[in-house]
Amino acid sequence: ALFLDSQVVYINSAMGPQVAPAGWLLNNASSSSTVRFWEYRSTDLIGAPLDVSQRIASSRQISDAENAQLIDIDQVSATVSER
């Protein structure tokens, strides 16, 4: 199945060694420009910041302001109801 215009956001996530340094795979996506892989303050299982330097090119680290919008339930509800 194609998941065009998909979005995945890891927020304050603790990740073990089973997560590859690339972070994500583009499975059947025709373009990485239509898929958003975002991440905010990911850590390893003991709480140390993850090295995200090897993440795939279509991923990015989000800012404090972007994180605040994503975790604001009123903002999320408004965005969903607009669709």
Report d(CA 7, CA 60) in Å as an integer: 12
3-state secondary structure labels for all residues of 13-46 = CECCCCCCCCCCCCCCCCCHHHCEEEEECCECCC
Convert the pLDDT of each residue in 61-72 to its tens digit. Answer: 999 999 998 888
Residue spans of the domains in the chain: they are: 7-63
Convert the pLDDT of each residue in 37-81 to its tens digit. Answer: 999 999 999 999 999 999 988 899 999 999 998 888 776 666 656
Give pLDDT, residue 48: 98
